[in-house]
Chain A
Amino acid sequence: MKFSSRCRSILLPFVFALVLAAYSYLIVLSLGSGWSFPSLLPDRFDYSPWKHFWADRDGLRIAALRSLGISLVVSAISTTFGLSAARSIRETRSRWGLYIAYLPFVMSPVVIGVCLFDLTIRLGIAGTVFGVIATQSMFATAFTTVFFSELWSPQVDRYEQLVTTLGGGRISVWCHAILPSIRGLVVVCVIETALFSWLDYGIVSIIGGGNVKSLTVHLFAYIREASVNQAAQSSLVLLFPAMVGMLLMIGLYVISVGQKSRTNSRLP
């Protein structure tokens, strides 16, 4: 019994350490070049993948900046449109609206991208950054619409009614009722959509048609070339913002839980 309870108590730290070790191994691989069998470590610790990255020989830094720019624009567009779309779905209680919003959310971006490719050619945006942004924005807007419509609190509607009753116009409703109430959700949504765009490979490869070289496109090229060290380094560059974003979201969650418990403790 004692043995079982001791096993239970060390199992989670053990799994945690195992996962951390897996990520650390990526760091080790990215610090050198070559990884011939049966060596456990890279053949030479010469930091060449990181030197390549900083010297921008393969255009990796430009690719990272391009990915960053695309993800920021996509998150701004999708959060803005998704917020208003979710609000109108909540108001009209439209089941079809929600169904349509869910479609790109659950479907493969690649299959839809293949079907949309002809449209992007007709519009003259295939193979351009604008085409990638437009297509990614469609998927991200679907996500934000679902996100806001699912997490919309009835309290926001009551604040909105209060501002309208007190004579507030449309802008006042947004500034004094809606945005202050869903500030946390907006931040989470911006991070989520930026990460979606940052990590996307399917849409960039299909709509971008090889002309838009994002960080994920480079990563896939390295993996296919079996360039393990370079792929490990690109993986870390991809992982870093995702981890920071996740930490930010966990931090926001902890803060909101803390605020709620403080508010509850003040109540009589």
Chain B
Amino acid sequence: MLVALPMLWAVGYAAIYSVGGIGYFSQGWTFEHWKSAIAGYGVMQSLALSLGIAAIVTTIVTCVSLGVVICFPEWRQRASFYCLAGMMLATPVSVTAFMVVIFLGSGGLFARLLFYMRLIESPSDFPELIYDRYSIGIVIAQSISFLPLMLFYLSQLWQTIHADRLLFLSQTLGCSLRQAKWRVVLPTMLLRSRSVILLVFLFSLGSYEVPLLLGRQSPQMFSVLVQRYANRFDLLLKPQAFVLATVYFAISMGLLITYLRWRHRHEV
């Protein structure tokens, strides 16, 4: 009840508000807000940006963590590996975003080091990595935040699928170590971890603090734009916030069903 009722309220409220069912300035049921949201710049751009960033972050996190676990299987036995991943996992996303600012900002540490190396002459010569057009800062900060989660999961998965035995068996059947790793272990791990990959995608899609601190004013990611539209002085734009929220709910709920199905299939 503590979870179901507020969730029902949130989803229902967003959907009804977006079609004019409620709201101080509502003039009755209408699809006008949806039409103007689809025709407008902000909402569709935000949709594309959020999905794009989530897809890129998920790809980076998956590739890097699969690469680390498959190329360095001996790290799983080292305490320093777990300490490193644990430290990164314990770091709040807001702190990660702040660290990206002080390291990769135009006046940040790397820019200062390049200045001393005489590669740049002023902060403006440093390439724009935060508040930038391509959201590089957001992608870096989110990838760092989700990487330890994936590393922990894949390290456990290595044991669960008995990857060492798979490697040994493949080599016995004539594969080289490289073929065994990339043609046997990699597809097996990828298939088994697809539900967690989807989870990372969902977490990235709904992130707030990182795009708020490192993103541009326009376009903005889902959470930031919903919050901005909902708190604007122009109350006539408020239904647009709930159009966006309804789209976000629909995408997340659909992907969650897929996630639970995949999980269930592995359990069976």
Contact = CB atoms under 8 A, between A and B. Distances in A.
A39 interface: yes
A87 B252 CA distance: 26
A37 B123 contact: yes
Interface stretch (B34-42, B165-173, B182-190, B220-228): B220-228
Interface residues of B, number: 71
Contacts, number: 186
B83 A112 contact: no
Nearest to A98: B260
Interface in B63-86: 72, 74-75, 78, 80-84, 86
Interface string B86-121: 111111111101110111000101011101100000
Interface of A: 8, 11-13, 15-16, 19, 22-23, 25-26, 29, 37-40, 81, 85, 95, 98-104, 106-112, 114-119, 135, 137-138, 141-142, 145, 195, 199, 201-202, 206, 216, 219-220, 223, 228, 231-232, 235, 238-239, 242-243, 245-247, 249-250
Closest 3 pairs (CB-CB, A-B): A108-B206, A246-B90, A115-B10
A114 B209 contact: no
Contacts of A100: 3-4, 7
B11 interface: yes
A246 B241 CA distance: 37
Contacts of B262: none
Interface of B: 2-4, 6-7, 9-11, 13-14, 72, 74-75, 78, 80-84, 86-95, 97-99, 101-103, 107, 109, 111-113, 115-116, 123, 199, 202-203, 205-209, 212-213, 222-224, 226-227, 230, 241-242, 245, 248-249, 252-253, 255-257, 259-260
Between B9, B95, B107, B230, the greatest number of chain A beta carbons within 10 A of the residue's beta carbon is seen for: B95
Contacts of B226: 110-111, 114
Given A98-B260, A99-B257, A202-B209, A108 B87 contact: no
A201 B197 CA distance: 25
Contacts of B14: 115
Candidate in B14, B102, B103 with the most chain A CB atoms within 10 angstroms:
B102
A106 B230 contact: no
A107 B11 CA distance: 11
